[in-house]
């Protein structure tokens, strides 16, 4: 008798004798894994951290974050409206609302709208652009001043009359565009649509300062104790943007930025991981029920799978502390690969029962016949996963570490917990499988 056979024989005796003790210890470890993983196993959806920090571009990115900390992990609001005036108003309103929600945002600002640029913006124009702007403002000043003092329909008609009488004025030169804008505004008003006449574009057309898009940057408060660290801030950002777009027809506010994209990835990952895990488990259980033809064997396999999955999550929490967008798929991998151990064990156990062996003898002989093969399967599969560990791609490296160890966890629960469960469940008898009949007999074999 070989050493492996002696070990497996001894193991079979211990498992059948101390089944309750083994199951109790397994349940205790499973409970501890759930308790620890609940508080310590997060999901890191930062794609930049899935690569080695020693790579050159990673070092450059860290220096960039150090130089501009206010833009690190920031949410970007892209504000678009039909006219520069509306864009400025919408961006200012959005900024004010973000500043009023300090529970969700640490800071917020408009990069091209601050005290410095409001005071020194003309310094960034070329000499020709500055001369043209100064000339236009000088010519338009009487009209702007008059319209500001007479901000009503009669004041507008007075401006138009002045433009028609003074053909050399800026307004006179821009009269076609002004009349077109007024005509469009009246038509839109008649149909109940929104339209805003842009005096800025009329008085200073084709200017670089006539922006209909502005960026508002906000730094969210991050709650690392939550599975969605910026979930509350993103929800508030969407709510504020939606309210503002409703109040200002024609405006469009979009949310982007690394942290916003990472949040959406995390939402997709969470939904996808749950669906794939549940889907794979249901498919596996359906196939196993057809294979085992026994509720007890199916239940024992399900308990074994869930225990192994939980213990693997506990290991990931201790060894790594988080899952990433790639390693989160370990659950589906474990279910697909870990169930193989239970299938071989259960089928050999069932085969021994068909031979009229007692329940305990069937468990012992099943362990003796398949135990060493399962160990080799776990060893070779884990080597394949561990081959990912040395790579600089941390996402794949962490998946390799978790999945490689999970193979030995799956082996352990299949060789210890599953036989203990079979000891307690005790199949009374097992009918032999009927060989499948061929669909069409052929004169040769493949």
Q: Who has greater pLDDT, 51 or 128? A: 128
Query: Are 115 and 15 part of one and the same domain?
Result: no
Asked whether residue 431 carries a pLDDT value surpassing 70, the answer given is no
Q: Are 412 and 15 in contact (CB under 8 A)?
A: no
Query: Does residue 436 fall inside a structural domain?
Result: no
Contact between residue 180 and residue 188 where contact means Cβ atoms under 8 Å apart: no
Among 341, 407, 404, which residue's Cα sits nearest to residue 371? 341
- 403: which 2 tokens? 């999945």
Residue 94: partners with Cβ closer than 8 Å, 6 or more residues away: 77, 79, 216, 240, 241, 244, 253
Same domain, 238 and 276: no
Same domain (yes/no): 273, 250: no
Q: How many helices (H) and strands (E) does the chain have?
A: 17, 6
pTM over 0.75? The answer is no
Total domains in the chain come to 2
Q: Are residues 22 and 141 in the same domain?
A: no
Q: Which two tokens stand for residue 216?
A: 């508002």
**Residue 434: exposed, middle, or buried by beta-carbon count in 10 A (0-12, 13-18, 19+)?**
exposed
Question: Could you give the CA distance from residue 400 to residue 386 in angstroms, rounded to a whole number?
Answer: 5
Predicted local confidence at residue 240, as pLDDT = 95
pLDDT by residue (tens digit) across 365-398? 989 889 899 999 999 999 999 999 988 788 889 9
Residue 62 near residue 244, CB atoms below 8 Å = no
The residues pairing with 76 across neighbouring beta strands, listed in sequence order, are 217, 256
Q: Is 435 a member of any domain?
A: no
Residues 314 and 369 in one domain: yes
Give the Cβ contact number of residue 127 at 10 Å: 7
The pLDDT value recorded for residue 280 is: 77
Task: Report yes or no on 60 lying in a domain.
Answer: no
Cβ-Cβ contacts under 8 Å for 1 (sequence gap 6 or more): 9
**How confident is residue 440, by pLDDT bands cut at 50, 70 and 90?**
low
**What pLDDT shows up at residue 57?**
83
Rounded CA gap, 394 and 55, in Å? 12
Which pLDDT belongs to residue 400?
Answer: 92
Question: Residue 263 has what pLDDT?
Answer: 85
Residue 226 scores a pLDDT above 70: no
Confidence of residue 224 (pLDDT cuts 50, 70, 90): low
Strand runs labelled E in 30-90: 42-44, 75-80
* Higher pLDDT among residues 417 and 207, named by residue: 417
Instruction: Decide: 204 and 133 in contact? Cβ < 8 Å.
Output: yes
What confidence score (pLDDT) does residue 411 get?
Answer: 94
pLDDT tens-digit series, residues 288-311: 888 777 888 889 999 999 999 999
DSSP 140: H
Given a cut of 80, is residue 439 above it in pLDDT?
no
Asked which of 200, 234, 255 is the last residue of a domain, the reply is 255
Mean pLDDT of 40-65: 79
- Residue 171: its pLDDT value, please? 58
Residue-wise over 14-29: b if at least 16 C-beta within 10 A, else e? ebbeebeebbeebeeb
Q: Is the pLDDT of residue 168 over 70?
A: no
Please name which of 23, 8, 16 lies closest in space to residue 426, comparing C-alpha atoms: 16
Tokens 């029920």 belong to: 289
Q: Is 426 left (phi over 0), alpha (psi -120 to 50) or beta?
A: left
Q: Which domain holds residue 158?
A: 73-255
Determine the average pLDDT of the residues in 273-281. Answer: 76
Calpha distance 422→103 (Å, rounded):
55
Q: What is the mean pLDDT of the chain?
A: 83
Residue 302 within any structural domain of the chain: yes
Average the pLDDT over each of 134-143, 278-287, 295-304 and give the range with the smallest value: 134-143
Same domain, 249 and 300: no
Task: Give the mean model confidence (pLDDT) for residues 72-87.
Answer: 90
Residues 26 and 114 in one domain: no
Same domain, 131 and 250: yes
Decide: 330 and 310 in contact? Cβ < 8 Å. Answer: no
Question: Band of the pLDDT at 35, cuts 50, 70, 90?
Answer: very high
Model confidence at 416, pLDDT cuts 50, 70, 90, reads: very high
DSSP element (H, E) containing 92: helix 84-99
Listing DSSP states for 338-396 in one string gives: HHHHHHHHHHHHHHHHHTT--HHHHHHHHHHHHHHHHHHHHHHHHHHHHTTTTSSBHHH
Residues 416 and 23: their CA atoms lie apart, in Å, by: 9
Same domain, 78 and 204: yes
Q: Mark whether 250 and 284 lie in a shared domain.
A: no
Output phi, psi for 42, to 5 deg.
-100, -175
Considering the domain boundaries, does residue 339 fall inside one? yes
Distances from the Cα of 168 to the Cα of 146, 202, 354, angstroms: 18, 15, 108
Same domain for 200 and 162? Answer: yes
Whether 64 is in a domain gets the answer: no
pLDDT tier at 214 (50, 70, 90 boundaries)?
A: very high
The answer for residues whose C-beta is within 8 angstroms of residue 382's C-beta and 6 or more apart is: 403, 404, 405, 407, 408
DSSP code of 51? B
Q: Domain for residue 352, yes or no?
A: yes
Whether pLDDT at 237 is above 90: yes
Q: What band does 250 get if pLDDT is binned at 50, 70 and 90?
A: confident
pLDDT for the residue numbered 415: 93
Residue 123 has pLDDT above 80, yes or no: yes
Domain final position from 230, 255, 280: 255
Residue 446's pLDDT band (boundaries 50, 70, 90)?
Answer: very low
Residues 222 and 344 reside in one and the same domain: no
User: What does the pLDDT read at residue 169?
Assistant: 58
- Report if residue 446 sits inside a domain: no
Average pLDDT on 240-264 reads 90
CATH code of the domain covering residue 390: 1.20.1640.10
Average pLDDT over residues 275-296: 81
3-state class (DSSP) for residue 150: coil
Rounded CA separation 362/16 (Å): 11
């Amino acid at each position: 008798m070989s050493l492996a056979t002696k070990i497996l024989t001894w193991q079979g005796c211990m498992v059948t004798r101390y089944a309750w003790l083994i199951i109790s210890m397994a349940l205790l470890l499973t409970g501890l894994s759930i308790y620890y993983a609940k508080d310590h196993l997060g999901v890191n959806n930062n794609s930049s951290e899935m690569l080695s920090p020693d790579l050159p571009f990673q070092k450059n990115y860290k220096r960039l974050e150090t130089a501009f900390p206010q833009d690190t992990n920031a949410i970007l609001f892209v504000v678009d409206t039909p006219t520069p005036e509306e864009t400025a108003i919408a961006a200012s309103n959005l900024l004010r609302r973000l500043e009023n929600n300090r529970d969700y945002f640490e800071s917020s600002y408009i990069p091209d709208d601050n005290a410095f640029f409001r005071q020194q913006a003309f310094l960034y124009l070329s000499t020709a652009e500055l001369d043209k702007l100064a000339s236009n403002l000088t010519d338009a000043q009487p009209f702007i001043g008059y319209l500001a003092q007479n901000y009503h329909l009669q004041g507008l008609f007075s401006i138009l009359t002045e433009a028609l009488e003074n053909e050399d004025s800026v307004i006179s030169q821009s009269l076609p565009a002004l009349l077109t804008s007024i005509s469009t505004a009246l038509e839109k008003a008649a149909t109940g649509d929104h339209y805003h006449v842009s005096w800025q574009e009329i008085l200073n057309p084709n200017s670089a300062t006539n922006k209909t898009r502005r960026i508002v940057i906000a730094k969210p408060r991050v709650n690392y104790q939550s599975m969605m660290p910026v979930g509350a801030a993103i929800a508030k950002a969407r709510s504020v943007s939606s309210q503002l777009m409703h109040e200002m027809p024609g405006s469009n506010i979009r949310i982007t930025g690394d942290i916003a994209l990472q949040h959406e990835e995390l939402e997709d990952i969470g939904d996808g991981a749950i669906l794939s895990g549940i889907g794979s488990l249901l498919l596996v259980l359906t196939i196993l029920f057809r294979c085992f033809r026994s509720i007890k064997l199916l239940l024992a396999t399900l308990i074994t799978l869930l225990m192994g999955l939980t213990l693997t999550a506990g290991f990931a929490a201790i060894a790594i502390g988080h899952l990433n967008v790639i390693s989160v798929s370990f659950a589906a991998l474990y279910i697909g690969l870990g169930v193989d151990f239970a299938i071989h064990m259960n089928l050999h156990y069932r085969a021994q029962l068909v031979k009229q062996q007692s329940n305990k003898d069937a468990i012992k002989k099943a362990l003796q016949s398949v135990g060493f093969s399962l160990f080799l399967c776990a060893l070779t599969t884990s080597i394949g996963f561990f081959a990912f560990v040395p790579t600089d791609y941390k996402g794949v490296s962490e998946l390799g570490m978790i999945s490689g160890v999970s193979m030995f966890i799956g082996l352990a629960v299949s060789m210890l917990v599953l036989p203990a469960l079979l000891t307690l469940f005790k199949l009374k008898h097992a009918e032999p499988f009927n060989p499948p009949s061929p669909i069409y007999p052929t004169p040769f074999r493949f």
